[in-house]
């Protein structure tokens, strides 16, 4: 039965999910001066770049929250629209809604998408277990810690079965063990449910550990300095020589991306 065989998970064979060709300026400040790339179905893309180069701005544009001054973002060949496409976003800033309990915060996306209440309950219970927040369902954000709030935001993003998940340095406020746990959880959810993830991080080890591919951006106006597929087999061993080699390569790229002081 050839027809029922699953398609091979070969990057080149997968279709394009997100197609980006944009330029953006805030007034006179040019942030993106022509940025072009495509993300494939079920790809885990990591974005690295110096602080202030426009990564958050790029994600806002990808989510359809911000209109680029020029160009377009296509999701499945159509202009991106949060009402039509199933998008999730883990914001860099704290983003829990203070007037909702942990449970209702996690349920926000599902409620907006008008899922039946029984399903909301089941999904939220499930995902709260994954981010280790069981028992805190009825707490308000001001009663939990910063890292816990971030886990609420992560849970909210994974509660809706999004096709495109945007994550903006989601783990910076977590301690190392929790961070590693969350990385593993994100990977296991992604491997289970699939979906396209675009993940911004400053942490190169994180990028090499998580991504199918990493894009390194220059300081603004941001250009793509490198677009490197990472083919290491999963689960990846951070101590393996190949891992170290990639990590070092990105580090030197990122160093060269920083605006040189003497250049001003």
100 binds other proteins (CB under 8 A): yes
54 binds ligand ATP (CB under 6 A): yes
C-beta neighbour count of 144 within 10 angstroms: 16
- Residues between 87 and 146 that touch ligand ATP (CB under 6 A): 92
* CA quadruple 146, 209, 90, 101: dihedral sign: negative
112 binds other proteins (CB under 8 A): yes
Segment lying near other proteins (by CB under 8 A), choices 31-39, 105-113, 117-125, 256-264: 105-113
**Alpha-carbon distance 206 to 148, whole Å?**
20
Task: Out of 23, 69, 71, 82, name the contact with other proteins by CB under 8 A.
Answer: 82
Q: Which of 151, 172, 186 is nearest to 92 (CA)?
A: 172
Task: Out of 36, 52, 146, 188, name the contact with ligand ATP by CB under 6 A.
Answer: 52
Give all strands of the β-sheet with 70-75 in edge-to-edge order: 29-40, 16-26, 70-75, 78-79
147 binds other proteins (CB under 8 A): no
Query: Phi, psi at residue 52, to the nearest 5°?
Result: 85, 10
Continuous H helices in the chain: 55-62, 102-112, 117-130, 146-159, 176-193, 204-210, 241-257
Residues that bind other proteins (CB under 8 A): 60, 63-65, 82-84, 87-89, 91, 93-95, 97-101, 108-109, 112-113, 129, 132, 134-136, 138-143, 156, 160, 176-177, 180-181, 183-185, 187-188, 205, 209, 235-239
Residues that bind Mg ion (CB under 5 A): 56, 92
């Amino acid at each position: 039965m050839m027809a029922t065989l699953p398609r091979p998970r070969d990057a080149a064979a997968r279709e394009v999910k997100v197609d980006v060709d944009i330029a953006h300026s805030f007034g006179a400040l040019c942030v993106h001066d022509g940025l072009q790339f495509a993300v494939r179905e079920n790809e885990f893309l990591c974005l690295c770049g110096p602080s202030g180069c426009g990564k958050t701005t790029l994600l806002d544009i990808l989510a359809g929250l911000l209109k680029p001054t020029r160009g377009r973002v296509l999701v499945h060949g159509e202009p991106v629209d949060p009402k039509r496409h199933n998008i999730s976003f883990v914001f860099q800033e704290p983003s829990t809604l203070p007037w909702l309990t942990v449970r209702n915060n996690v349920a926000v996306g599902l409620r907006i998408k008008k899922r039946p209440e029984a399903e909301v309950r089941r999904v939220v219970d499930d995902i709260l277990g994954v981010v280790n927040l069981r028992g805190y369902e009825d707490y308000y954000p001001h009663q939990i810690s910063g890292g816990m709030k971030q886990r609420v935001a992560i849970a909210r993003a994974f509660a809706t079965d999004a096709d495109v998940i945007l994550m903006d340095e989601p783990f910076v406020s977590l301690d190392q063990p929790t961070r590693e746990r969350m990385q593993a959880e994100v990977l296991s959810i992604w491997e289970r449910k699939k979906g396209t993830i675009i993940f911004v991080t400053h942490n190169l080890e994180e990028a090499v550990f998580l991504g199918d591919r990493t894009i390194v951006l220059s300081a603004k106006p941001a250009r793509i300095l490198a677009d490197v597929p990472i083919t290491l087999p999963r689960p990846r061993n951070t101590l393996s020589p190949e891992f170290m080699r990639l990590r070092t390569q990105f580090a030197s790229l990122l160093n060269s991306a920083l605006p040189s002081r003497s250049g001003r």
